[in-house]
C-alpha cells in the first residue's frame, strides 16, 4: 500500500478521516503548522514515515506564510527522499480585501503561483495540485467556511473537504496510472436524443440546433477522450441495421462506427455483452466504465459485472457534457503528464539535477535558528490558570497523561504547596503565541511525579519541549528533589510524546512508567 | 425517529464506531474520537446531511446525543 502524508498550515484533520475510511493509502498527518519542521527535521514523523506522496496545502492568507520557506523546505526534503512525489496545492488569496479596487494581492498571487510553477519545472518530484480549479468550479464560499476556522482552525466546509478528498484521490490515481481503459456507451438517448428504431435515423436529436447540440458536444468530448488513448465500445439493445443507419447516413454524427473497438448491438442482456467485451478485448471488467441513460440497465450491469464503474446518468440532459467530464472523466480517466513511468525514465537526469539543488537547501538547525525563538517558562499564577485548563482540555498530540482539568482544579493546584504548575510562553520572529504549554508536578518528600506535561501542536517540531523539560528538572533538583517519575498514557495520537521521553533520556521497563534518576 | 436513525449513522461514521453503541445518553468524550476536533467533524457532517446550520455558540454547547437530536429536530422543523 502506498504511503501518503499530508502537510498544512491550517487544520485539515477532517481529511484524515476520509482517507482512513477509504483505506487505500497508509497515511500520516502532522499537526497543523508543523509542515516546515516536518520536512526539515530528519527525525520528524514525516521523515520516519518515508512517504511515497506528500500532499501540501498551504493557505497563503496566513500571516506567517512565505513561498520561499516552502521552496527551500521542499528542495531539502526531495533531496533526502528522491522517490517521493510532492503534490503541492496552488495558491489563492481570499477574494475579499479591505483595499477593494487598489488591492495588490492579485499580482502577488500570480507571482506565488509562478514561483510554484518554476519549482515544479526545476524539480520533477514536485507536482502542482490545481486547487484553484475546484474553487473556480464550485465557488469560494462553498469550499471555505469561517465558522470552523474560528472554532478549530479549519478553513474548509464539509463539502470543501469532500471535494478536496475526491480530487486528491483522482489526482493520486492519475499519477499512478490507475485509470479505466474502456468506455462502454449506450446509443439511444445517450449518444443522441430519441430512439433510432422508432424515430428514424434522420429524425434524431443530434446536430447544431437545439437539444441536438447537447449530444454533439458530448460526442465531441468522447472523441477527445479516445484521442487520449481510451478505448470505446458501443452497447445497444437494437437491431444492428437501425444503429448502423444512424452512423452511416446521419451526417451530423461526429462519432464514426470505426471509433469503436467493438460493438455489441443485439438483444442480449447488457451484462453479458460487457463480459463478452472483456473476453474479446482481453481486459478486466474492472477497467470498464458503462454509460447508459436507462436506470434498469445500469442496475443490472452494476450487479452482474464485477468491478465495472456505473455512473448515474444526469437527470437534466443539458448538463450531460459537463457531468461527463466532471463525474466520469476526472474520476475514471484522469491523466497526468508525468506518470510513474515517465518519472522513472527521468530518474537519471534527476540525480544530476539533485546535486545542484542540494546547494540551495537549508537544514533544520538553520531553520530553527532563523525563527529566533524566545521562551518564557515560569510558575503559573492567577493570570494563567484559565489558559492552562484550556490546554489540558484541548491538547491531544503532545500530551503525557491526557488528564483534563477545569480552571478551578488548576487554581487549586497553584495554591497547594505539594503541587507545582509550570507554564511556557513562546515568541518568534513571526509573533507571540502566548502560553503554549504547561506541566503539573506533584511533590512528595524528595520525589516528584510529573502529572501533566503538554505543548500545543502549534509549536511542535521546534525542539522547545527539551528546553521546557530541562527547566522543570532543574527547578525540581534545586528544590532537593532526587527522583522524578512520570506515567505515560499511550493513545493513537500522542506517540510523539513517547519518542520525546526516549530521546530525552527517561528510562522505562514497561513503556508506561518512566523515571529520570 | 427518522432523524435519530440518521444521526446515529453519522455518529457511527464520524467516530468509527457501531451505531448500536450510540444512545440518547451518549456524551462527548465517552466515545474515543469525540474530542474537540471530533465535535467539529460531527457538526460539519450533520450540517451537510440535514442542510442546517448551527451557530458557533450552539456548536460549543451540544455535548450529548440527546442535545444534538433535539437541536437538529428543532432546526429541521420536526420537534415533537
Return the CATH architecture of domain B2-76. Orthogonal Bundle (1.10)
Once rounded to an integer, what is the mean pLDDT over residues A406-420? 92
Buried b (16+ CB within 10 A) or exposed e, A424-450: bbbbbeeeeeebbbbbbbbbeeeebeb
Q: What is the pLDDT of residues A481-507, one digit of tens each?
A: 989 999 999 887 888 888 899 889 888
Which pLDDT band, with edges at 50, 70 and 90, does A352 fall under? very low
Which residue shows C-alpha cell 449506450? Answer: A186
CB A23 within 8 A of CB A346: no
Q: What percentage of chain B's residues is helix, strand, coil (to nearest 5)?
A: 60, 0, 35
Contact B40 A157 (CB under 8 A): no
Q: Exposed/middle/buried for A488, CB within 10 Å: 0-12, 13-18, 19+?
A: buried
Q: Which class for A464: exposed (0-12), middle (13-18), buried (19 or more C-beta within 10 A)? A: buried
Q: Which residues contact A224 (CB under 8 A, 6 or more apart)?
A: none
Mean of all residue pLDDT scores within chain A: 90
Judge: A148–B45 Cβ closer than 8 Å, yes or no: no
Please, which pLDDT band fits residue A52 given cuts at 50, 70 and 90?
very high
How many Å lie between the alpha carbon of A253 and the closest alpha carbon of chain B? 42
Distance CA B28, CA B22 (A): 11
Q: What is the DSSP string of A128-193?
A: EE-HHHHHHHH-HHHHB-HHHHHHHS--B-HHHHHHHHHHHHHHHHHHTT----EEEE--BTTTBB
Residue spans of the domains in chain A: they are 3-177+340-344, 182-332, 373-515
Grid cell for residue A237: 439493445
pLDDT tens profile A94-131: 999 898 988 888 899 999 999 999 999 889 899 999 99
Q: Domain A3-177+340-344 maps to which CATH number in 1.10.10.10, 3.40.50.1110, 3.40.47.10, 3.90.1170.40?
A: 3.40.50.1110
Report chain B residues whose CB lies below 8 A from the CB of A394.
Answer: 36
| Confidence (pLDDT) at A350 | 47
Beta-carbon contacts of residue A80 (< 8 Å; ≥ 6 apart): A42, A47
Distance of CA A122 to the CA centre of its chain: 23
Round to whole Å and give the CA distance between A158 and A163. Answer: 9
> Domain limits of chain B?
2-76
Which CATH code, of 1.10.540.10, 3.30.460.80, 3.40.50.1000, 2.30.33.40, is assigned to A182-332?
3.40.50.1000
**How far apart are the C-alpha atoms of A26 and A20, rounded to whole Å?**
8
pLDDT in tens, chain B (80 residues): 689 999 999 999 999 899 888 999 999 988 888 988 899 999 999 998 898 999 999 998 999 999 999 999 999 987 65
Q: What is the pLDDT of residues A180-227, one digit of tens each?
A: 999 999 999 999 999 999 999 999 999 998 899 999 999 999 999 998
Number of H helices, E strands in chain A: 23, 17
The reply to whether A3-177+340-344 and A182-332 are identical in fold is yes
Cα(A144)–Cα(A124) distance, integer angstroms = 31
> Once rounded to an integer, what is the mean pLDDT over residues A442-452?
93
ipTM over 0.85: yes
Structure confidence at residue A264 as a pLDDT band (50, 70, 90):
very high
Give the distance from residue A18's alpha carbon to the nearest chain B alpha carbon, in angstroms.
9
- pLDDT score for A396: 85
* CA separation for the pair A175, A55 (Å, rounded): 13
Q: Taking residues A384-409, report their average pLDDT.
A: 89
Residue A349 binned pLDDT confidence (cut-offs 50, 70, 90): very low
* Per-residue pLDDT at A348 exceeds 80: no
Span A360-375, mean pLDDT? 79
More confident residue, A431 or A246: A246
Q: Compute the average pLDDT of residues A16-35.
A: 89
Q: What's the rounded mean pLDDT across residues A305-315?
A: 96
Nearest CB among B13, B14, B40 relative to A148 is that of: B40
Multiple choice CATH, A373-515, 3.40.50.150, 3.30.70.1070, 3.40.50.2300, 3.40.630.30 = 3.40.630.30
- For B57, the closest chain A residue by CA position comes to A151
**How confident is the model over A305-326, as a mean pLDDT?**
96
Question: How confident is the model over A322-347, as pLDDT tens digits?
Answer: 999 999 999 999 988 755 555 554 44
Residue A283 burial by Cβ neighbours in a 10 Å radius (0-12, 13-18, 19+) = middle
Give B-chain residues touching A20 at CB under 8 angstroms: 16
The confidence score (pLDDT) of residue A470 equals: 93
What does the alpha-carbon distance between residue A313 and residue A270 come to, in Å, rounded to a whole number?
A: 16
Amino acid at each position: 500500500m502506498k504511503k501518503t502524508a499530508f502537510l498544512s498550515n491550517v487544520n485539515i484533520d477532517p481529511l484524515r478521516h476520509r482517507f482512513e475510511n477509504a483505506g487505500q493509502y497508509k497515511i500520516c498527518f502532522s499537526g497543523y503548522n508543523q509542515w516546515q519542521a516536518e520536512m526539515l527535521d530528519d527525525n520528524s514523523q514525516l521523515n520516519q514515515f518515508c512517504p511515497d506522496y506528500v500532499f501540501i496545502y498551504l493557505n497563503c492568507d496566513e500571516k506567517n506564510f512565505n513561498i520561499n520557506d516552502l521552496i527551500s523546505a521542499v528542495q531539502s526534503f526531495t533531496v533526502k527522499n528522491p522517490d517521493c512525489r510532492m503534490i503541492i496545492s496552488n495558491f489563492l488569496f481570499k477574494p475579499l480585501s479591505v483595499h477593494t479596487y487598489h488591492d495588490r494581492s492579485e499580482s502577488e498571487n500570480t507571482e506565488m503561483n509562478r514561483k510554484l510553477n518554476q519549482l515544479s519545472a526545476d524539480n520533477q518530484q514536485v507536482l502542482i495540485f490545481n486547487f484553484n480549479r475546484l474553487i473556480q468550479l464550485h465557488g469560494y464560499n462553498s469550499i471555505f467556511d469561517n465558522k470552523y476556522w474560528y472554532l478549530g482552525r479549519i478553513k474548509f466546509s464539509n463539502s470543501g473537504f469532500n471535494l478536496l478528498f475526491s480530487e486528491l484521490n483522482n489526482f493520486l490515481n492519475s499519477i499512478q496510472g490507475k485509470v479505466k481503459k474502456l468506455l462502454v456507451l449506450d446509443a439511444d438517448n445517450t449518444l443522441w436524443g430519441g430512439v433510432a428504431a422508432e424515430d428514424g435515423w434522420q429524425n434524431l436529436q443530434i446536430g447544431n440546433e437545439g437539444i441536438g447540440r447537447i449530444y454533439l458536444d458530448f460526442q465531441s468530448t468522447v472523441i477527445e477522450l479516445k484521442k487520449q488513448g481510451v478505448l470505446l465500445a458501443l452497447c445497444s439493445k437494437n437491431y444492428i441495421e437501425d444503429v448502423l443507419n444512424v452512423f452511416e447516413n446521419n451526417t451530423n454524427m461526429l462519432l464514426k462506427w470505426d471509433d469503436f473497438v467493438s460493438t455489441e448491438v443485439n438483444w442480449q442482456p447488457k451484462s453479458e455483452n460487457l463480459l463478452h467485451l472483456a473476453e474479446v478485448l482481453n481486459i478486466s471488467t474492472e477497467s470498464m466504465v458503462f454509460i447508459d441513460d436507462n436506470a434498469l440497465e445500469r442496475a443490472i450491469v452494476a450487479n452482474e459485472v464485477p468491478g465495472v464503474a456505473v455512473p448515474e446518468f444526469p437527470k437534466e440532459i443539458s448538463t450531460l457534457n459537463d457531468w461527463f467530464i466532471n463525474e466520469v472523466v476526472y474520476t475514471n480517466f484522469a491523466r497526468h503528464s508525468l506518470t510513474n513511468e515517465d518519472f522513472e525514465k527521468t530518474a537519471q537526469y534527476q540525480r544530476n539535477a539533485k546535486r545542484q539543488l542540494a546547494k540551495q537547501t537549508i537544514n533544520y538547525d538553520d531553520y530553527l535558528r532563523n525563527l529566533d525563538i524566545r521562551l518564557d517558562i515560569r510558575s503559573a499564577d492567577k493570570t494563567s490558570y484559565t489558559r492552562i485548563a484550556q490546554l489540558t482540555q484541548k491538547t491531544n498530540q503532545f500530551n503525557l497523561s491526557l488528564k483534563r482539568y477545569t480552571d478551578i482544579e488548576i487554581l487549586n493546584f497553584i495554591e497547594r504547596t505539594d503541587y507545582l504548575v509550570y507554564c511556557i510562553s513562546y515568541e518568534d520572529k513571526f509573533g507571540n503565541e502566548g502560553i503554549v504549554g504547561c506541566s503539573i508536578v506533584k511533590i512528595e518528600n524528595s520525589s516528584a511525579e510529573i502529572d501533566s506535561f503538554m505543548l500545543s501542536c502549534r509549536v511542535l517540531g521546534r525542539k522547545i519541549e527539551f528546553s521546557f523539560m530541562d527547566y522543570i528538572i532543574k527547578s525540581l533538583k534545586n528544590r532537593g528533589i532526587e527522583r522524578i517519575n512520570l506515567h505515560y498514557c499511550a493513545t493513537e495520537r500522542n506517540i510523539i510524546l513517547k519518542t520525546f521521553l526516549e530521546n530525552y533520556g527517561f528510562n522505562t521497563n514497561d513503556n508506561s512508567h518512566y523515571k529520570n534518576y | 425517529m427518522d432523524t435519530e436513525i440518521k444521526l446515529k449513522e453519522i455518529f457511527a461514521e464520524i467516530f468509527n464506531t457501531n451505531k448500536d453503541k450510540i444512545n440518547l445518553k451518549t456524551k462527548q468524550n465517552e466515545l474515543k474520537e469525540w474530542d474537540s476536533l471530533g465535535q467539529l467533524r460531527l457538526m460539519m457532517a450533520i450540517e451537510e446531511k440535514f442542510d442546517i446550520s448551527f451557530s458557533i455558540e450552539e456548536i460549543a454547547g451540544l455535548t450529548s446525543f440527546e442535545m444534538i437530536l433535539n437541536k437538529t429536530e428543532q432546526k429541521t422543523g420536526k420537534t415533537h
